[in-house]
Amino acid sequence: MPHFIAEYTDNIEQQADLPGLFEKVHTTLGASGVFPLGGIRSRGVRLDTWRMADGKHDYAFVHMTLKVGHGRDLATRRRVAEKLFEVITAHFAPLQAERLLALSFEMIELHPELNFKLNNVHAFLNQQAN
């Protein structure tokens, strides 16, 4: 954990530079000292069927979610979420200056008992470091 998910409208796929966004997200989360690098994952979900507002203009949106494991206090989660939203808004600023674009972001803390994981990437990264 965490998992970063960006749902985006199909009309901005070429301009959104999601690989660049994901690189910034991983750098930010890794540097936060809150999340181990081996658990950070990002993915984009292209929306081919959607409608926004009155449907009369070339609107676009990106809704982003960061799912995190249980156990970090609210102040820590808020600090990370605010920093990540700064990174997100800076990334999309040039595109938002050119077109109608709505950005939204939420952090979701997963249930402490109903969240299951099996990951061998942590051990691999530790082995690579040694």
pLDDT in tens, the chain (130 residues): 899 999 999 999 999 999 999 999 999 999 999 998 888 999 999 999 999 999 999 999 999 999 999 999 999 999 999 999 999 999 999 999 999 999 999 999 998 888 888 888 878 888 888 8
The residue type at 64 = M
Residue range of the domain that includes 109: 3-129
Return the pLDDT at 42.
98
Q: In what order do the strands lie in the sheet containing 102-109?
A: 41-47, 3-9, 61-68, 102-109
Marked catalytic residue, from 2, 36, 94, 112: 2
CATH code of the domain in which 91 resides: 3.30.429.10
Beta bridge partners of 68: 109
Return the pLDDT at 45.
98
Return the pLDDT at 126.
85
User: How many domains would you assign to the chain?
Assistant: 1
Token readout for 51 is 């409608």
Return the pLDDT at 83.
98
Q: Look up 2 and say whether it is catalytic.
A: yes
First to last CA, the chain: 23
Return the pLDDT at 119.
85
